[in-house]
Amino acid sequence: MTILVTGATGTVGRHVVDQLVKRGVDVRALVRDPAKADLPAGVALAKGDLLDIDSLRSAVSGVSTLFLLNAVTPDEITQALIALNIAREAGIERIVYLSVIHSDVYVNVPHFAGKFAVERMIEQMGLNATILRPAYFMNNDLTIKDVVTGHGVYPMPIGAKGLAMIDAGDIGEIAAIELIRREQSAAPLPLTRINLVGPDTLTGADAAAVWSEVLGRPIGYGGDNAAGFETNLRQVMPNWMAFDMRLMAERFLSDGMVPDEGDVARLTALLGRPLRSYRDFVAEIAAA
């Protein structure tokens, strides 16, 4: 039996593929350009994307389980709904969908609201799926390493409510475990939701303190300036995406991303090891 992975060359998808291959699973990856995919040997490559109906139908042919991951794009919800409809048409009854934590709370943030709409389709259409809901990726902070080390400021406006930051490698491993659990089940398993969180819930001041400890010098927190965050992001991404990220940051400030009771223990048991800490992540990228 074969597991199809979408978003296979991205931050999370690559970890999913690696973990599945490590566990001896037959993997097919949907990729736009097979020549640039650079995935492990043995992974079957299906050329196409989530808006190309013919290539998608070809990709799901003979597939037993689907991992659905959508990049943040203006048509993200369309891509996801098309993929799920094509999977349903092909008789796929085992699905793992990567959503986001508090998708039902951050209702004004486009990419959160889109993922919640996809969750509603999964639920109302009676699809057998695991919905993974990750919190903030600590890997996002790779992009601000130079600012922290060069200017002595942690610039992400994450506020004082706290974010349960999780490592992309942990997300990928948990996703692989869930995909295999569904794949190997004699009958399709019912809908379940799993919050994906890290071991610590960090405020902006907490994150700055971690960097201070690792670097051995004072690092300050840049403050809760979501508008300034948008202005900086406009230099490296489209305006619509920068605005989406600003809206997300505003919800960081007002709501945070705090795990539910038992989330950390559940994930620790699932992995059979501790979740990766933000301090370990910072120590690794600082050393690099």
Taking the alpha carbons of 59, 12, 14, 34 in that order, is the dihedral positive or negative? positive
Q: Strands (DSSP E) along the chain, which ranges?
A: 2-5, 26-31, 44-47, 63-68, 95-98, 129-134, 153-154, 192-196, 220-221
Per-residue pLDDT at 247: 98
Per-residue pLDDT at 228: 96
Pair type for strands 26-31 and 44-47? parallel
How far does Cα 6 stand from its chain's mean position? 12
Per-residue pLDDT at 1: 82
Fill in the DSSP letter of residue 137: B
Asked whether 144 and 154 are in contact (CB, 8 A), the reply is yes
Per-residue pLDDT at 22: 97
SS3 14: helix
Q: Which residues of the chain have pLDDT under 50?
A: none
Query: Can you tell me the distance from the alpha carbon of 194 to that of 165, in angstroms, rounded to the nearest whole number?
Result: 15
How far does Cα 10 stand from its chain's mean position? 10
Per-residue pLDDT at 260: 97
Q: What contacts 37, CB < 8 A, 6 or more positions away? A: 8, 9, 29, 31, 45
pTM: 0.97
